[in-house]
A and B are shown apart, each in its own frame.
Chain A
Amino acid sequence: MGLIVEARGLHKHFGALHVLRGIDLAVAERELVFVIGPSGSGKSTLLRCLNRLEQPSAGSVVVDGIDMLDRRTDLNRARQRIGMVFQSFNLYPGMTALGNVTLALRKVAVRPRREADATGLAALDRVGLADRAGHMPSQLSGGQQQRVAIARSIALEPRVMLFDEPTSALDPELVGSVLAVMRSLRESGMTMVVVSHEMGFARAAADRVVFMADGAVVEEGAPEAMFGAPRHERTQAFISQIQRH
């Protein structure tokens, strides 16, 4: 199986702050990679470098064979193949759920409205919200909003989905519905990179867990090994702290 994401030697500076210190990350097709680590370890920055919402200071990023850092790359086209889900949902407040899902289909993929609506409805159906297509984001619960955000990404049929703490802003009773959607995405064979603190989900669904600290990958491995018998001291400390909660 080929690699969908291949990041090498990634560095990122924010002024004097050295946030990423030489990260290598490869994600195979249909793989679900879970990235964990203390806050400030650079997980989100790593994710945002993959679709170039953040410009890496050094290194290379290739996604689905496209060099994301090449000047000649059509970034907007490339980004359609990389779905991203944010902690704060970031739905467009002035548009219905369906409007949110179809905007990029109509403006970037340039589909006629009827076709875009059909694709959008199918995407909403996949997240279990076809009956909410006409609702405004403010009329939806946090969990529903996040599922609409997921639908917005999958409607573009991305090759990989990036999740940046997708459940961190949710009330505990709403987390399950979002995780269920992520699980069904995984079962459909979607390649996923997930930054999250949902360790239960990581154990159940991840192929590989990557532990980051201070802008570097400390340790990675299968979930059983990472949670059951982490080798590094930092990983052990982090995992035991997380599991105490």
Chain B
Amino acid sequence: MSGWDRFAATFLDRGVMARYLPDIASGFVLTVELALLIVLTGLAAGLVLALVRSLGVRPLNWVIIFAVDLFRALPPLVIIVLLYFGLPGAGITPSGFVATWASLSLVLMAFAEEIFWAGLMAVPRGQWEAARSTGLGFAQTLGWVVLPQALRITIPPLTNRTIAITKGTALGSVVAVSEILAQSQSAVSFSSNPSPLTLGAAAYLVLFLPVVAFGRWIETRFRA
């Protein structure tokens, strides 16, 4: 057996791959669902926090900054494990899916808040003053004048951060979420062959390569 043949038998066993393809496909679907949910709630929560912060209520801002720093500092896996194994002690028993979704949403929320906030701060004061001097209120100025400019600036960093965090869905495998990595690993133990891992990697590429390419396109488009 040549080196290549050994490699192919280990990582590219067609029979094994065909047998476990359906499992990994279902893991793929679950990963997509999980990722979409995280993006939705994470970005929405981050935007809301940034908008609340722009009201400039001191005590409220301390709470926001504390929460944001906390979730940026903790490793996502630690948060997932804490929620999954810790919450039952408080009478709430989240599924692995819910624990992963909530954890990664919190992490994305924290990073997104900082990015949105930086975007809002980057809009010149003169924009606020011009709008307010024509009689637009705070919310109108924010919504019609400042936020559109801020969002434009935030799209590239936000896309990158969103990709980085949604990839963390693989961490759900630790708390029994049958996403791509978990499906691959269980297929590996059943078949005693690592080929499903190759399939899993391919599934991640299919999922995230277009997103990464989209992020690159967005970055060039909005840099100007």
Residue ranges of A at the interface with B (Cβ–Cβ < 8 Å) = 51, 53, 76-80, 82-84, 86, 88, 90-94, 103-104, 107-109, 149, 152-153, 156
CB distance from A38 to the nearest CB of B (A): 23
CB distance from A81 to the nearest CB of B (A): 9
Known contacts A94-B149, A103-B144: does B126 contact A53 (CB below 8 Å)?
Answer: no
Question: Does A104 contact B136, Cβ atoms closer than 8 Å?
Answer: yes
Question: Does B152 contact A76, Cβ atoms closer than 8 Å?
Answer: no
Known contacts A103-B136, A104-B136, A108-B140: does B130 contact A91 (CB below 8 Å)?
Answer: yes
Query: Which residues from chain A contact B135 at a C-beta distance below 8 Å?
Result: 76-80, 104, 108-109, 156
Q: Is B134 located at the chain interface by the 8 A CB criterion?
A: yes
CB distance from A152 to the nearest CB of B (A): 7
- B interface secondary structure, majority: helix
Count: A-B pairs, CB below 8 Å: 67
Q: Which of B134-156 contact A (CB under 8 A)?
A: 134-137, 140, 144-145, 148-149, 152
Q: Is B133 located at the chain interface by the 8 A CB criterion?
A: yes
> Considering the complex of A and B, which 10 residue pairs feature the smallest CB-CB distances, nearest first?
A90-B130, A104-B134, A90-B126, A80-B135, A84-B133, A108-B135, A79-B135, A76-B135, A76-B137, A88-B126
CB distance from B222 to the nearest CB of A (A): 12
Question: Does B133 contact A92, Cβ atoms closer than 8 Å?
Answer: no
14 contacts between A and B (CB under 8 A): A76-B135, A79-B133, A80-B134, A82-B133, A86-B126, A88-B126, A90-B127, A90-B129, A92-B130, A92-B145, A94-B149, A103-B136, A108-B135, A153-B133
CB distance from B223 to the nearest CB of A (A): 15
CB distance from A3 to the nearest CB of B (A): 21
CB distance from B152 to the nearest CB of A (A): 7
Question: Does A94 contact B136, Cβ atoms closer than 8 Å?
Answer: no
Q: Which residue of A lies closest to B140 (CB)?
A: A107
